Chains A and B, each alone.
Chain A
Amino acid sequence: MPMVLFGMALAILIAAAGWTRAWSRRTESAHLCLAWQSRLLAESATACALQDAMARQVPAAVDSTARDTTAKRRSTSVQDTADSACGFLGPAPGTMSWEPPAGTQLLSVHARGSVLESGRPLVVELRSIWGGAPPPDPFSPALSLWDRNAGVPRLTGKVRGEVRLRADSAVPSGFVAQPSGGISEFVPSSLGSDTAAALDRMAVAFRSEDAHLGGARFSPSDPPPDQDSLVYTIGDVVFDGPWTGDAWVPGGSRTLFVEGRVEFRGRMALDGWRIYAAGPVVVQDEATLLSMDIFSEGGVQVSDKASVSGQILSKGALVVSGDASLAAPSFAAVWPGKGADSIPRIAVRDRATAQAYLVALGGRAEIRLGAGADFRGVAVSGGLLRVDGTLRGVGVAGRVDCGQPGSNCSDGNFDRPDLPAGFAFPLGLQGNLGLRLVSWETSR
C-alpha cells in the first residue's frame, strides 16, 4: 500500500511539473510572438516616418549659394505635422507611433510599436538614421574647383585622384574639365527649407505655455525634467557633468529649445537629443553627444575631448578644436549670419578629427582643415577651402586660387581613397539613387 501511494504521489508530481512547464512554455511562446508583433509595428512606424519626411518635399526657391544660376534646384519644405494616412489595411494588433523628424539631411527616425501583454504595453523602440545614396560621378574626383574666372591652380601638395577644374577654355595639363552642372550638385537642395522649418519651430516653442522664463543649470544632482520637450527663453542652459568618475547620462532623448546659449561640459553623454538654440552651442571637456540634431543661430564649438555626431545646421561658425571629434555619421552646414557671423566658417584644427559631410554656403564661405587635423569625408565650400593637412575624400571649392598665401588649397594633400564604410551622404542631394540605412538600433 505505501508503495502504491508513493507511486501515485510521484505520478502527480510529474504531472504537476509537466503542467507547469507546458504553461510557462505557452507563456514564453506568446511573449515571443507579441514582442515580434511590436517590433513589426515599430518597423511599420519607421516606414511611415520616412514617408512623412519625404512627402514634405515641394518645389521651391533656387538656392542663393549656387554660383551657376542656370542650375535650377528644388528646395524642401518641412512642416511640423504628423498627420498621415499611413496605416494598415485592416485592424492592427497594437499601436505604432513616430516622432516627426527634425531635418531631412541625415534623417533620424524614432519609432515605436506597442502591443498589450497581460494588460501592460510591451513596447519595442527603433532608432534609425537614414542617408542618401548619391550618384557616383560628382563625388569621384579628389578635388573639384568651380571658379570660372580663375587662373591655373597651383597645387603644391600631393594629390591622389582626379582634379576637376571648371574653365571656359581648354583645361591645363594635369586637370580634367568639369562636366556641366554646378557646385550646387554638392549642396543638399532641402537645406534652406530645413532651416526655415527650424526657425518656425523655435518661434512656436518660445511662445508656448511650456516655456520657462530664464535659463537653467542642470547637473547629476539637478537633472532636467522628465519631459519630451524643454523650452527656456531669455537665458542660457548649462549641462554640468562631473569632472571625474562616470559620465553623467541625463536620460532619454528630448527636444531642447533655448533662446540663449547652450553649454555641455564635464563628463556627460547625450544620445538622440534635438537642440534648437538662438545662441551658440558649446560642447567641451569630455561631453559626448551622439545622434544629435543641432540647430543654432549662434554657431557651434566642439573642443577639448568632446565628441559630437549627427546633424548640425548653424549660422556663422562651426569650430572643432583640441582633441575633439565630429564623429560619423555627421552632416554639418553653416550659412551667413549677421555681424561677426557674416562669414560662414567651418574649421577643424589642432588634433581634432572629423568624419563628416561639411557644407559652407555662400561665396565668402570658408572651410579650413588644419595641419594636425584628421578629416575624412566631403568638404564643400562655396568660397575658400584651405587644407593645411590632408583631406581624405572629396574637396569642393568655389574658388581656385590654390597656392596663393592665405587662400585655398595651400600645401594641402588631397587623397581620394574609398570613403569610410557607412559614410553618410545627405538625403537632399540632387540625383540621389535612393535611401541608405546608416544605422539601426532596437531597444525594448
Chain B
Amino acid sequence: MKRGYTLVEVLMALVILAVLAVPLGYVLETTGKGSARARLQDQALAVAQEAWSVSRATDPDSLRDTVWDRDISGARWRISRDVFDSADRSAAGLPPIRAAAALQPPVEISVCALRAGGDDDWDTVRCFRWLRPRTRILP
C-alpha cells in the first residue's frame, strides 16, 4: 500500500528548498548578468572593428570628433571617433613625431563603442586606440 509524505518530510523539503533557493537564485542571476555583459562586450568589439574597418578607408581629418550611430540586433550603438595629430601632441606637451619628407606623421585614432542607456544617455562599453599612417594607402 502506497504511503503519502509525512508532515515532517514536507517541512524538511521546504527548509532545504528555502536554504538552497537563495544562493541558487543568486548564481542564476549572476550567470545571466555575466553572459549579458560578455555579449555586450562582444557586440562592442564587433562595432569597434567595423568602425576600424571604415576609418581605414577614410581621411583621418574627417573622423575628428565625430559620432556614427548603428542599430545592431535591435540595440542602438554609437561610435565616438576622434583624431590626435602632431598639433594635439604638441598641446599635450609631448615630443613631436619626426616629419618625413614623403610621409606625414601618423595620427592616433580613438574609437569608443557606446550603448544606448535610455533618456538619451549613452554608456561607454569599449574604447580602442591605434596609430595609422596619414598618407592614403593604395590597395
Chains A and B belong together in one complex: yes
Which residues of chain A have a CB within 8 Å of any CB of chain B? 1, 4-5, 8, 11-12, 15-16, 18-19, 21-23, 25-26, 28-30, 32-33, 36-37, 40-41, 43-44, 47-48, 50-52, 54-58, 84-90, 92-93, 133, 432-437
Interfacial chain B residues near A22, Cβ < 8 Å: 30-32, 34-35, 38
Taking the nearest CB of chain B, how far is it from the CB of A270, in angstroms?
28
Partner of B105, one of A51, A56, A437: A51
**Closest approach, in angstroms, between the C-beta of A408 and any C-beta of chain B?**
33
Asked whether A29 lies within 8 Å of B38 as measured between CB atoms, the reply is yes
Contact of B28 with A51 in the complex, beta carbons under 8 Å: no
Which of A1, A15, A26, A57 contacts B37, CB < 8 Å? A26
CB of B98 within 8 A of CB of A55, answer yes
Roughly how many angstroms separate A434 CA and B89 CA in the complex, as a whole number? 25
Interchain residue pairs with CB less than 8 A apart (26) = A12-B20, A12-B24, A15-B27, A15-B31, A19-B30, A21-B31, A22-B31, A22-B32, A44-B130, A44-B131, A47-B106, A47-B133, A50-B106, A51-B98, A55-B98, A56-B100, A57-B101, A84-B97, A85-B96, A87-B94, A92-B129, A93-B129, A433-B138, A436-B137, A436-B138, A437-B138
Contacts of B17 in A (CB 8 A): 4, 8
CB of B116 within 8 Å of the partner chain: no
A434 and B136 contact, CB distance less than 8 A:
yes
Is A88 touching B129 in the complex (CB atoms < 8 A)?
A: yes
- Cβ-defined contact, A19 with B31, below 8 A: yes
32-86 of chain B: CB within 8 A of chain A: 32, 34-35, 37-39, 41-42, 45, 48-49, 52, 84
Given the interface pairs A1-B5, A32-B42, the reply to whether A50 lies near B34 with Cβ below 8 Å is no
Minimum CB–CB distance for A124 against chain B, Å: 12
B102 within 8 A of A: yes
Q: Which residue in B16, B27, B42, B97 is a CB contact (below 8 Å) of A8?
A: B16
Establish whether residues B16 and A435, one from each chain, have CB atoms under 8 Å apart when the complex forms. Answer: no
Q: Does chain A have a CB within 8 A of B1? A: no
- Tell me how far the C-beta of B37 lies from the nearest C-beta in chain A, rounded to whole angstroms: 7
Is the Cβ of B103 less than 8 Å from the Cβ of A435?
yes
- Which single member of A11, A44, A55, A58 contacts B24 (CB below 8 Å)? A11
Query: Are B128 and A37 closer than 8 Å at their CB atoms?
Result: yes
Given contacts A55-B99, A55-B103, A85-B96, contact A435 B12 (CB under 8 A): no
**Cross-interface CB contact of A86 among B13, B52, B97, cutoff 8 Å:** B97
Q: Which residues of B contact A23 (CB under 8 A)?
A: 34
Supposing A44-B131, A50-B133 touch, asked if A1 and B84 sit within 8 A by C-beta, the answer is: no
Residues of B within 8 A of A44 (CB): 106, 130-132
What are the 5 A-B residue pairs with the smallest beta carbon separation, nearest first? A22-B34, A44-B131, A54-B100, A55-B100, A40-B130
Q: Is the CB of B38 within 8 A of A28?
A: yes
How far does the alpha carbon of A18 sit from the alpha carbon of B32 in the complex, in Å? Answer: 8
**Of the residues A16, A25, A85, contact of B95 by C-beta under 8 Å:** A85
Interface residues on chain B, size class: 35 or more
Main SS class of interface, A:
helix
B123, CB-defined interface residue at 8 Å: no
- Are A15 and B28 neighbours in the complex by a CB distance under 8 Å? yes
Separation in Å of the B98 CB from the closest CB of chain A? 5
Across the interface, which residues of B come within 8 angstroms of A30, CB to CB?
Answer: 41
Q: B9 to nearest A CB, angstroms? A: 5
Of A25, A432, A437, which contacts B34 at CB under 8 A? A25
Chain A residues closer than 8 Å to B35, beta-carbon distance:
18, 21-22, 25
- CB pair B88–A89 under 8 Å, yes or no, is yes
Q: Pick the residue among B52, B84, B128 that contacts A89 (CB under 8 A).
A: B84
A58 vs B106: C-alpha distance when bound (angstroms): 19
Q: How far is the CA of A197 from the CA of B37 in the complex (A)?
A: 53
A33 to B67, CA, bound (A): 22
How far apart are the CA atoms of A47 and B130 in the complex, in Å?
A: 9
- Output the nearest chain A residue to B41 by Cβ-Cβ distance: A29
Partner of B13, one of A4, A25, A29, A432: A4
B139 in the interface, Cβ–Cβ < 8 Å?
yes
Contacts of B89 in A (CB 8 A): 89
A33 touches B45 (CB 8 A): yes
Quick one: which of B31, B39, B131 contacts A47, CB cutoff 8 A?
B131
- CB of A1 within 8 A of CB of B12, answer yes
Q: In whole angstroms, how far apart are the Cα atoms of A418 and B109 in the complex?
A: 37
Assess whether A434 is in contact with B31, with CB atoms less than 8 Å apart.
no
B28 contacts across to A, CB distance below 8 A: 15, 18
Docked-complex contact A32 and B95, CB < 8 angstroms: no
Interface centre among B32, B41, B92, by most chain A C-beta atoms within 10 angstroms, is B41
CB distance from A421 to the nearest CB of B (A): 10
Closest-by-CB residue of B relative to A86 is B97
A432-B102 in contact given A36-B45, A43-B132, A85-B96 (Cβ < 8 Å) = yes
**B41 touching A85, Cβ below 8 Å:** no
> Given the complex of chains A and B, what is the CA–CA distance between A92 and B84 in angstroms?
14
Q: Are B41 and A47 touching (Cβ within 8 A)?
A: no
B106 & A54 in contact (Cβ 8 Å cutoff)? no
Chain B residues near A88: list those with CB within 8 A: 108, 129, 131
**A47 CA to B9 CA in the complex, in Å?**
73
Find A32's partner among B45, B99, B101 (CB 8 Å cutoff).
B45
